Structure 1
Amino acid sequence: MGGFGSGRGGVAMLVAAAICAPTLAFAQDDDWEFGEDAARQLTVATVRYDGGKAVVAQCQAGALKVVLVGLPASTEVIRTLSASRADGRTDVQTWAAQPGATVFTSLVSGRDARFLRGGGLFEVRTAPGAPAPMRARFDLPTENANLDRVLVACGYGVSDERDQLVRAGPDLKTEWEAEHADDRPNQRQRSRSISGTARRQERPETPPAPRVPTPVDISCIVRDAAYADCRAEHAPTAVSARMDERIRMITGVKLERTSAAANEGRVVYPGSDGVAPLIQVIREELIG
């Protein structure tokens, strides 16, 4: 692997070069490649492989992003992947990509970046029976000092006690979500006037492109069928007030009891499934 460099096109060139690669990719050096551009408040740690695959951890202006480059494209915006490390530790992670793209972004940046520490074989794969099976392996460097530099530059710790907790499963739902599971998002649009419908038929609208969610930094513990001990691992100064308000909104939200019982004591990252965190207008309905 050559030096990453600090030029403006560094990360862009990595992504542009992404192509599907052989099943197993091998790293050559002992530590991640490192680059920074102070003018852009950009710090990057990278592992690159033959065939265009790469693992990238980037901090820019206080925002941490973890990216896997060169995974098989999918029509799904959100992919739930089982992850494993050389030391036997496992996790279930959520990654996002535009349909057809081969660049996947982690939706829980801090936890997933720290999962890459330690070196050796890192593997992600879809669950058995997935409609679009996928498996990718990366041999990571044995040293992670440069990866740690990116975490620290963004204000994240290189360890967090919640990383040791099992993530709540996809069955976990709030009471509101369980009660409105059959709601149709376009129901209000269908109730508009006939003339409005006719105008839409005459000039059909192009469906909007799927929105790729942004990474989530809020975590809560499932306790007594509610979100408890909610906190932000990190929030840039520019959004800290908004993050505090979001934590207040989420803390205490009631969960559907059957799924909550199965996930008692686990950690949940509200919004990491691509659904936006609950908004204030339904807060009263959720926590009474």
Structure 2
Amino acid sequence: MSLIGLRIIRQGKSMRRAICAIALSLFALNMVPPANAQTDDWDLLTDPQGRWAAAEVLFSSGNGIRVECAGGYVQTHLLGLDRMRDYQIIERLLPEGGVETAVWRIQDDRTRRVSPDGARYARLIARQPSLNLRLVERDGRKRALNLELPSQHANLDAILTACGEALLEPDDSQQTAWELITKPPALEMPSSALADHDRIAITVVCTIAGDQLTACRSPSQNPTNERAGAALAARANAHRLGLVGPADGQTLEIIVTGQRFRR
């Protein structure tokens, strides 16, 4: 059996998971209520055991936005939406004009959407007075969702900081490929890898050209198996993606894990 995970390679993030648990524990211990209870800021939620922390804003419509730090990563959630499966295409109307289209994953009770690049999205909306979205239904119809955001964002910034994220990133103006993918590459672990190991994880790095993966290579395997890595990279080459926008030249890291079950 194979499992697959994807992420966009970004620089300067290698220590995030190592420091996140410590940062969240300290964050939970040192959290104090705001002096002014009327402050128009995001609500701050923490796990006393330091496993996660979140900034959240809820609306009378039943919708909400939640930015959560857990396991070393930031996730941005839209709450209280209509039930759907798998993913939903969501358009964000840009303050300067234009539209940014992204593919949001659906989790839990199917009323929650999760941004594929939560930290970037949290930074983008932190300093905006409103979030104006168009939710694309399966039949192509679009439903408007306009949310007025808190005028202050100290608690949201605190979540980003606790998760090792910068409050501003120069490359946030560029969407990552993972935000555009509707059909991730379905790669199967080579049978030779599972013949040699009960468990193995293989990393493949590819460049996107059009809607295809190109120049794929396997920089690492755990445990080391260069032959299986090369075989998986060869399978990834020319694999087609489902995309809602151009991602030419972006680098995609694919992690495939396999486990052999004994009868």
Structure 2 counterpart of 1:199: none
Q: How does 1:120-131 map to 2 (within 5 A)?
A: 120-127=129-136, 130-131=139-140
Structure 2 counterpart of 1:65: 75
Task: Give deviations 1:223-277, integer Å, cap 9, x for gaps.
Answer: 697568x9xxxxxxxxxx97xx9xx9999964569x99x946554666xxxxxx4
Q: How does 1:55-94 map to 2 (within 5 A)?
A: 55-74=65-84, 76-88=85-97, 90-94=99-103
Question: SS state of the match for residue 134, structure 1?
Answer: strand
Task: Give deviations 1:186-206, integer Å, cap 9, x for gaps.
Answer: xxxxxxxxxxxxxxxxxxxxx
User: Is 1:79–1:95's contact at 8 Å kept on the other side of the alignment?
Assistant: yes
Task: Give deviations 1:97-119, integer Å, cap 9, x for gaps.
Answer: 25963222222222222222212
Count residues with an aligned counterpart: 193
Distance 2:112 2:252 in 1: 22
Which among 158, 164, 168 is matched to residue 173 of structure 2?
Answer: 164
* Distance verdict in 2 for CA 1:32–1:264, change over 3 Å: closer
Question: SS state of the match for residue 107, structure 1?
Answer: coil
Structure 1 residue 78: Cα displacement: 0.9
Structure 1 residue 84: Cα displacement: 2.4
Task: Give deviations 1:119-153, integer Å, cap 9, x for gaps.
Answer: 22212224588446433221112332221111111
Identity of aligned residues (%): 19
Q: Does 1:53 align with 2:32?
A: no
* Distance verdict in 2 for CA 1:107–1:91, change over 3 Å: same
Structure 2 counterpart of 1:150: 159
Tell me: higher relative CO, structure 1 or 2? Use CA pairs within 8 A at least 6 residues apart: 2
Structure 1 residue 94: Cα displacement: 2.0
Which among 53, 58, 71 is matched to residue 43 of structure 1?
Answer: 53
Structure 1 residue 69: Cα displacement: 0.9
Q: Does 1:116 align with 2:125?
A: yes
- Please, what TM-score do these two structures have when normalized by structure 2? 0.54
Question: SS state of the match for residue 57, structure 2?
Answer: strand
* Distance verdict in 2 for CA 1:81–1:62, change over 3 Å: same
- Please, what TM-score do these two structures have when normalized by structure 1? 0.50
Amino acid at match of 2:44: F
Q: How does 1:1-288 map to 2 (within 5 A)?
A: 30-74=40-84, 76-88=85-97, 90-98=99-107, 101-127=110-136, 130-131=139-140, 133-168=142-177, 169-170=180-181, 222=208, 254-255=237-238, 263=246, 265=248, 267=250, 277=254, 279=256
Question: SS state of the match for residue 142, structure 1?
Answer: coil
* Distance verdict in 2 for CA 1:132–1:33, change over 3 Å: same
Amino acid at match of 1:121: S
Amino acid at match of 2:81: L
Distance 2:39 2:94 in 1: 18
User: Is 2:57–2:64's contact at 8 Å kept on the other side of the alignment?
Assistant: yes
Distance 2:124 2:213 in 1: 27
* Distance verdict in 2 for CA 1:167–1:223, change over 3 Å: same
Question: SS state of the match for residue 80, structure 1?
Answer: strand
User: What stretches of structure 2 of length at least 5 have no aligned partner?
Assistant: 1-27, 29-37, 188-203, 259-263
Amino acid at match of 1:150: I
Distance 2:48 2:205 in 1: 30
Distance 1:130 1:29 in 2: 41
Question: SS state of the match for residue 94, structure 1?
Answer: strand
User: Is 2:88–2:136's contact at 8 Å kept on the other side of the alignment?
Assistant: no
Question: SS state of the match for residue 148, structure 1?
Answer: helix
Indicate the RMSD between aligned Cα atoms, in angstroms. Answer: 4.6
| Bigger strand fraction | 2
Distance 1:267 1:114 in 2: 21
Amino acid at match of 1:124: L
* Distance verdict in 2 for CA 1:142–1:223, change over 3 Å: farther
